Amino acid sequence: MSELLKTQEIIYSKGNAIKVYTDKDIASAYVAERIAKIIKGKQSTGERAVIGLATGSTPKGVYKELVRLHKDEGLSFRNVSTFNLDEYYPILPIDDQSYVSFMKNNLFNHIDIDSDYVHIPDGTLSIEGIQAYCDLYEQKIVDFGGLDIQLLGIGRTGHIGFNEPGAVSDSRTRLVTLNDITREDAKDDFGGKEKVPTQAITMGVQTITQAKEVILMALSSRKAEIIKKALEGEVSADIPATFLQRLSNVEYILDSEAASLLSK
Ligand code: GLP
């Protein structure tokens, strides 16, 4: 690992490593490097890497770096299968705000991934068909051998994916109702809160926590309060990200602003 990718500071909270970076780009480059390592490891044994992906502004730097690794350093994604955490419901894939558009614009259009191996929950299903579809989504993850790594951001409500307050630890992929704060935070993307869908399809807490490795990223002072609660608070469905505290394979990647309220 290059000098540039070295951790700036490591804090331990409840047995978990929290890596705090002064520079967001270095934090993103570290995460991209972790993902690239898994992809290359699987290439060397002729296997597929199964990567769980997230949306939002937080992982954009990771995707930018993965695209750079592809273009400048020849990292291939031909052996990669991806599963995205969530999608708004209802939404058309071609809508600008859909997570399909987000993933194409930020990653998939710039790398050599085979689109047959890209999975993003379908925001166009009829309401009656959703649960069967979600069960199949779970089954596909299992069929691919499980998620080798799941990348996460965190919402100001403490959501991971779209598992809002109240989501239980054994929840699986399903249709959920979005929290008011989450819709407020998405209003600029949609041109008004009233235009933000009220529902979404999301992997469950259990789907996420079953991944072989989990990385939760939080950047900016906007996340400082919820990061303190998520990492240092009681484990509770009130803040679904607290369920990650029970895992031994989770790494928190923060910038100094997001980490600013943590006890040292
Ligand atoms: C959305 C996504 C989450 C993401 C959150 C935070 O709600 N469904 O997966 O973690 O946004 O977004 P941002 O990274 O833009 O703060």
Q: Candidates 31, 99, 106, 154: which one to mutate for ligand 1, based on the most atoms within 8 Å of Cβ?
A: 154
Q: Which of ligand 1's atoms lies nearest the C-alpha of 154?
A: 10
For residue 3, what are the contacts with CB-CB under 8 A and spacing of at least 6? Answer: none
Q: Answer whether residue 246 shows pLDDT above 80.
A: yes
pLDDT tens digits for range 30-86: 999 999 999 999 999 999 999 999 999 999 999 999 999 999 999 999 999 999 999
pLDDT tens digits for range 113-162: 999 999 999 999 999 999 999 999 999 999 999 999 999 999 999 999 99
Structure tokens at 26: 């270095």
Q: What gap in Å lies between CA 74 and CA 81, rounded to an integer?
A: 18
pLDDT tens digits for range 159-211: 999 999 999 999 999 999 999 999 999 999 999 999 999 999 999 999 999 99
Task: Give me the helices (H) in 93-250, please.
Answer: 99-106, 130-143, 180-185, 187-190, 205-209, 224-232
pLDDT score of 6: 56
Task: Determine which one of 164, 184, 225, 232 is catalytic.
Answer: 164
Q: Candidates 185, 190, 205, 252: which one to mutate for ligand 1, based on the most atoms within 8 Å of Cβ?
A: 185
Q: What is the mean pLDDT of the chain?
A: 96
- Could you tell me the fold of the domain covering 20-255? Rossmann fold (3.40.50)
Residue 196, ligand 1, Cβ within 6 A: no
Q: Answer whether residue 1 shows pLDDT above 50.
A: no
